[in-house]
Amino acid sequence: MSLSQNAPQHHICSLNTNEPPSFEGIMAPVKNEFEAVNRIILDQLHTNVPFVRTVGEYLIKNGGKRLRPLVALLCSKALEYQGETHLTIATIVEFLHAATLLHDDVVDESRLRRGKPSANAVWGNAASVLVGDFLISRAFQMIVGTHDIRVMSTLSDATNLIAEGEVLQLLNCKNPATTEEQYRRVIYCKTAKMFEVSTQIGAMIAKVDAYKEEAMRDYGKHLGMAFQIQDDILDYTGDTQTLGKNIGDDFAEGKVTLPVIYALAHAPSKEQAYLKQAILSGSVENIEKVIFLLQSTGAIEYCQKVAKEEAEQARNHLSCLNPSIYRDALEQLTEFALLRKS
């Protein structure tokens, strides 16, 4: 019997606790599948150009928690899927996500990725862009291999939307007039869309009815929104060692995220002028003052409230699922989204 069959029932935490659920506990119901995905990832990095594999393995092995593959696996199993296509889907979304990270670090001129030198810092911008292109093309080779036109259409549309989000973020760079609506559009395209497509296709391959597919799609969307808003909070409240990047990096890169948008709307005029000038100049020489302004205007509390609302919406969409360890894990992810520190 596999681990996913006899994994223990996990306690579902309240959205009002202070400690996140164990990520290992969330992953436990699909541990075997997760390990299979890791093997497929390494297999699919095979190429006649060894340098491509070197860069790809560096990014993948030093990657994060692989949340998008995880939600694809959990969603399909929560809907009682019995095949193996979910392993392919999980690999595809990880490749597409990894490619965006390679490209993002070039655009943002980032030198760190999760506490280690970014690929562009090690091998240069050209290598990062080209290996990112390889990961996208390999993902589309795998998409074609599913022989499912709806899967192909959904993933190709998502990839296009993510690219649009990158351009929108670039257009909003160092723009203190950025609105909350514009911010939401960017994070939906850049982050939430890949969560959304992961859960939607997990439902799609399980061949459930339209109601359940839509519910799982919306679960992924709201979970992704909660994750990104929490990321933007941590950029001003986190710990450098835990985050693997410097506090205020987003501000230095000119990203006008929700905490800053709220502070600009609620700070006294003198402080507003300071924030606008700091955004325009990209200066983080006095990031402590920026953080103080975010805290004193209630920006952090507001963003926490918005993230919680997104997480609760995600959680509500799980009501269509039968009780299972997979549903429990999906619920715990809504808690993890809010309380994680990295």
Tokens of 333: 């992810």
Three-state SS string over 15-28 comes to: CCCCCCCCHHHHHH
Distance CA 1, CA 78 (A): 18
Residue 5, pLDDT > 50, answer: no
Task: Name which of 315, 81, 317 is nearest 214 in CA terms.
Answer: 317
At residue 63, the pLDDT reads 63
What mean pLDDT is reported for the chain? 89
Tokens of 81: 């899927």
At residue 12, the pLDDT reads 39
Q: From residue 182, how far is each of 5, 168, 228, 294, 297 by CA, in Å?
A: 44, 8, 14, 19, 21
At residue 11, the pLDDT reads 38
**Rounded percentage of the chain residues whose pLDDT exceeds 90:** 68
Q: From residue 275, how far is each of 187, 246, 262 by CA, in Å?
A: 22, 19, 11
Task: Name which of 189, 200, 190, 194 is nearest 86 in CA terms.
Answer: 200
At residue 118, the pLDDT reads 83
The answer to whether the predicted template modeling score (pTM) of the entire model surpasses 0.75 is yes
pLDDT band at residue 50 under the 50/70/90 scheme: confident
Distance CA 230, CA 334 (A): 11
Q: Which fold has domain 14-339?
A: Farnesyl Diphosphate Synthase (1.10.600)
Delimit the domains of the chain by residue range. Answer: 14-339
Q: Tens digits of per-residue pLDDT, 174-224?
A: 999 999 999 999 999 999 999 999 999 999 999 999 999 999 999 999 999
Q: How is 101-163 classified by DSSP, letter by letter? A: HHHHHHHTT--EETTEE-HHHHH-HHHHHHHHHHHHHHHHHHHHHT--HHHHHHHHHHHHHHH
Stretch 54-69: mean pLDDT:
83
**Long-range contacts, stretch 12-18, CB < 8 angstroms, 24+ apart:** 12/328, 12/331, 12/332, 12/335, 13/332, 13/335, 14/335, 15/308, 15/311, 15/312, 15/315, 15/334, 15/335, 15/338, 17/335, 17/339, 18/339
> What residue has token string 């593959």?
69
